[in-house]
Chain A
Amino acid sequence: MSDRVIETPHRRVEDGIVATDVSHGFDDTGVLDEISLGLERGEILAVIGPSGTGKTTLLELLAAFYPPNEGEIRMNGGDVWSQSERERLAARRRIGMVFQEPNLFDTTVRRNVSYGLHVRRDWRSRLREWGTRLFGEGTSLPVTEALETVGLADVATQTVRSLSGGEAQRVAFARALAYDPDVLLLDEPTSDLDPRNTAVIEDAIGTARNQGIGVAVATHDMHQAERLADRVAVMLDGSLIEVGPTERVFSDPDDPRARRFIDGELVYTAGEKGD
Chain B
Amino acid sequence: MVGAIVEFATLPLVEFPFESNYVRSIVYVSLYVSLTAVLLSTLVSLPVAMLVGFAEFPGRRLAIALINTGMGLPSVVVGLAVLFLVSNQGPLGTFDLVFTKEAMIMSQFVLATPVITGVSLAAVTGVDEGVRDASYALGGTRLDVALVTIKEARYGIATGVLAGLGRAISEVGSVLIVGGNIAGADGTAITRTLTTAIQLEARQGRFELALVLGAILLVLVLLVNAVVLRLGGGRI
- Which A residues contact B (CB, under 8 angstroms)? 63, 65, 89, 92-93, 95-97, 99, 101, 103-107, 115-116, 119-120, 172, 175-176, 179
Say yes or no: A116-B139 contact (C-beta < 8 A), given A103-B131, A103-B133, A105-B131.
Answer: yes
Least CB separation from A179: chain B residue: B139
**Residues from chain A with Cβ under 8 Å of B144 in the complex:** 119
Point out the residue from B128, B135, B136, B148 that lies within 8 Å of A65, measured CB to CB: B136
* Closest-CB distance, B96 to chain A (whole angstroms): 38
Is B138 within 8 A of A119, CB to CB? yes
* Closest-CB distance, B159 to chain A (whole angstroms): 15
**Residues from chain B with Cβ under 8 Å of A176 in the complex:** 137-138
A101 to B152, CA, bound (A): 16
A93 to B137, CA, bound (A): 8
Is B151 within 8 A of A119, CB to CB? no
Is A105 within 8 A of B139, CB to CB? no
Say yes or no: A89-B141 contact (C-beta < 8 A), given A103-B133, A105-B131.
Answer: yes
Decide if B134 is an interface residue (CB 8 Å cutoff). Answer: yes
Decide if B140 is an interface residue (CB 8 Å cutoff). Answer: yes
A117 to B131, CA, bound (A): 17
Least CB separation from B127: chain A residue: A106
A107 to B135, CA, bound (A): 14
Is A93 within 8 A of B151, CB to CB? no
Is A119 within 8 A of B133, CB to CB? no
* Closest-CB distance, A167 to chain B (whole angstroms): 16
* Closest-CB distance, B178 to chain A (whole angstroms): 38
Is A101 within 8 A of B139, CB to CB? no
- Which B residues contact A (CB, under 8 angstroms)? 128, 130-131, 133-141, 144, 148, 151-152
Is B137 within 8 A of A119, CB to CB? no
Least CB separation from A99: chain B residue: B130
Is A63 within 8 A of B141, CB to CB? no
Is A115 within 8 A of B130, CB to CB? no
**Residues from chain A with Cβ under 8 Å of B138 in the complex:** 96-97, 115-116, 119, 175-176, 179
* Closest-CB distance, A214 to chain B (whole angstroms): 16
**Residues from chain A with Cβ under 8 Å of B136 in the complex:** 65
A144 to B10, CA, bound (A): 47
Counting from the closest, the 3 A-B pairs by CB-CB distance are A97-B137, A103-B134, A93-B139
* Closest-CB distance, B55 to chain A (whole angstroms): 16
Is A99 within 8 A of B134, CB to CB? yes
A104 to B128, CA, bound (A): 10
Least CB separation from B131: chain A residue: A103
* Closest-CB distance, B177 to chain A (whole angstroms): 42
Is B130 within 8 A of A105, CB to CB? no
**Residues from chain B with Cβ under 8 Å of A172 in the complex:** 134
Point out the residue from A103, A115, A116, A179 that lies within 8 Å of B128, measured CB to CB: A103
**Residues from chain B with Cβ under 8 Å of A89 in the complex:** 139, 141
A87 to B138, CA, bound (A): 16
A97 to B137, CA, bound (A): 6
* Closest-CB distance, A196 to chain B (whole angstroms): 24
Point out the residue from A95, A104, A107 that lies within 8 Å of B137, measured CB to CB: A95
Point out the residue from A93, A101, A107, A175 that lies within 8 Å of B130, measured CB to CB: A101
**Residues from chain A with Cβ under 8 Å of B135 in the complex:** 105, 115
Least CB separation from A106: chain B residue: B152
